Amino acid sequence: MTTPVSQPAPSSRWLDRFAAGIAHLVPDPITASVIMLIALVIAALSLGNSGPQVMDAYYRSLWMLLPFTMQMTLIIVLSSALASTPFFRGAVARLAEAPRNAYQFIGLAVLITGVAAYFYWGLGLALGPVIAVYFARAAERKGIPIDFPLYLSTMGAANSLWQFGLSSSAPLLMATEGHFLQKTTGVIPLTRTIWSPAAILHEVLFAVALMVTACLLMPKKGGRQISEFPESEKVADPVPAPPAASASVSEWLEKRPYFNYILCAVLAVWLWTHFGIKKLSLDINSLNTTLLLASLILHANFKSFTMALERSIVSAWPVIVLYHLYAGLAGLIQHTNVGETLAALAAQVTNPYTFPGLTAAISAVFSFFVPSSGGQWAIQGFVIAKSAEAVGITVERGLLAMSVGDHIGNLLSPFWVVILAGIARLDFRRFFGYGLIYALLWFVIGVVVFTFAPC
């Protein structure tokens, strides 16, 4: 849950003034969705779509992401529950004691968050704010200046490494037999997308550039330390222990691991069936099953697990409602000629050297309306594949360029920033402005790498 916006103290640093200025300009996510709705309706009507066509496009799409919404809600809630286990909290607390200066605090926190995100984006999203709080509290205790809002924004940017990691949905989709573009592109193995030299190079370059940039931006003295944000600091408070045992048989069972073991065994069989028997690839459902299994194992009993769920659900509120508002916007792109017009224009004005940059730029615009890289690829994939072929580059280069643009929306859209803020218990406007700098860094590195590096 976010706290009310408080006005930051005046600062002489240009970065703080910039972030504060952005805070005054950025609307909340629901207001932002309405602004985008107005812009898309105007665009659709100006391109010749009739009023009834525009209304029908919105009608058809408003609730089209209901299953996906539940999947994303589970990712956020289960990831937060997993991050709250004694195993992860203890590991983060111990690691927070290791750094001895601000550079080490930045480098180690970025590395841990980035590695977690690479393995699973939900885990990086949930652990990043927790890492920021624990590390910022340890830094303040040691007298090391760490500006907490900037630090939190840096952890949000470190989570970007998921985009070319093991849970990158568009590459996973294209590596799956029977995907919707198979007749056009064939099955594209992960060795040509997220495990290509270009993608690996991008991950390394961005991680290093992020560490260097954060070190340069971090104030050498002063700054807003974690103690100035008491609600955020509470994130690092000890997790409440389950109530003492009672005479109730049901409560006694909740606190014992026996039924937990049975459910864990059933989930393990589900995973074996998915991967071992049916030979299916990694997907959102199998990732969520893995998260649920890991959370149950590490919480050890149902009482601890359900208490973690109660604390975690507050982080998922933006998904539950806002996904549907964004689905309506996606429908205005899919079911009118707005999307086709933009894509056709891109194919006409590109060549092998400008295609990745323009694809990333257009995808950045799309990413504000389509809250999933897989969903975005479903809309843009056919056009990108055909236009890539027309200009003489590989489909996977187009896919990776699209992923660069897709993540611009994740870095800049209030939708995702609010989730990060909810976990950290800080109003998103307090750190949103710093993300613009990291988004620019991500975009420039991505365009250069996927224009020239092999993939």
- pLDDT of 161 reads 96
> Is there a domain that residue 20 lies in?
no
Mean pLDDT over each residue of the chain, to the nearest integer:
84
Residue 7: pLDDT over 50: no
- pLDDT of 377 reads 78
Cβ-proximal residues to 270 (8 Å cutoff; 6+ apart), any chain: 289
Residue 1: pLDDT over 50: no
Confidence of residue 23 (pLDDT cuts 50, 70, 90): low
Is residue 19 within 8 A of residue 149, CB to CB? The reply is yes
Mean pLDDT of all residues in 382-386: 80
Angle subtended by helix axes 317-334 and 66-83, to nearest 10: 150
- pLDDT of 175 reads 82
The tokens of 198 are what? 């270009």
DSSP string, 372-383: -HHHHHHHHHHH
Is residue 41 within 8 A of residue 54, CB to CB? The reply is yes
> Is there a domain that residue 4 lies in?
no
Coil, helix or strand for 243? coil
* Number of folded domains that form the chain: 1
DSSP string, 99-123: --SHHHHHHHHHHHHHHHHHH-HHH
- pLDDT of 372 reads 62
Residue 202: pLDDT over 70: yes
Mean pLDDT of all residues in 73-86: 84
> Is there a domain that residue 19 lies in?
no
Is residue 211 within 8 A of residue 143, CB to CB? The reply is no
- The alpha-carbon radius of gyration of the chain (Å, integer) is 22
Query: pLDDT above 90 covers what percent of the chain?
Result: 39
- pLDDT of 2 reads 42
C-alpha–C-alpha distance, residues 162 and 418, integer Å: 18
| Closest among 407, 442, 396, 437 to 205, alpha carbons compared | 442
Considering only 85-94, 203-212, 402-411, 422-431, which range has the smallest mean pLDDT?
A: 422-431
The tokens of 214 are what? 């954060």
Q: Angle at the Cα of 279 (from 274 to 282), degrees rounded to 5?
A: 65
- The single-letter DSSP state of residue 226 is G
Is residue 122 within 8 A of residue 372, CB to CB? The reply is no
- pLDDT of 80 reads 82
Residue 330: pLDDT over 90: no
Mean pLDDT of all residues in 64-74: 79
Residue 240: pLDDT over 70: no
pLDDT tens for residues 281-293? 776 788 889 989 9
Considering only 216-230, 234-248, 311-325, 341-355, which range has the smallest mean pLDDT?
A: 234-248
User: Phi and psi (nearest 5°) for 417?
Assistant: -65, -35
> Is there a domain that residue 199 lies in?
yes
Entry pTM: 0.77
> Is there a domain that residue 7 lies in?
no
Residue 222: pLDDT over 60: yes
Mean pLDDT of all residues in 360-369: 79
- pLDDT of 9 reads 44
Residue 432: pLDDT over 70: yes
Mean pLDDT of all residues in 274-280: 88
- pLDDT of 160 reads 95
Is residue 450 within 8 A of residue 395, CB to CB? The reply is no
Confidence of residue 398 (pLDDT cuts 50, 70, 90): very high
C-alpha–C-alpha distance, residues 311 and 297, integer Å: 18
Most confident of 28-32, 124-128, 185-189, 208-212: 208-212
- Count other C-beta atoms under 10 Å from residue 192's C-beta: 20
C-alpha–C-alpha distance, residues 158 and 410, integer Å: 12
- pLDDT of 183 reads 81
Residue 75: pLDDT over 90: no
pLDDT tens for residues 143-155? 999 999 999 999 9
Residue given tokens 């933009």 in the structure block: 342
Is residue 409 within 8 A of residue 391, CB to CB? The reply is no
C-alpha–C-alpha distance, residues 451 and 448, integer Å: 5
Residue range(s) defining the domain that contains residue 378? 29-240+248-452
Cβ-proximal residues to 225 (8 Å cutoff; 6+ apart), any chain: 136, 139, 140, 145, 146, 147, 148
- pLDDT of 431 reads 85
- Count other C-beta atoms under 10 Å from residue 58's C-beta: 20
C-alpha–C-alpha distance, residues 290 and 283, integer Å: 11
> Is there a domain that residue 5 lies in?
no
Mean pLDDT of all residues in 422-434: 84
C-alpha–C-alpha distance, residues 346 and 343, integer Å: 5
Mean pLDDT of all residues in 377-383: 74
Q: Where are the alpha helices (DSSP H) in 300-431?
A: 302-312, 317-334, 338-348, 355-367, 373-391, 395-412, 414-424
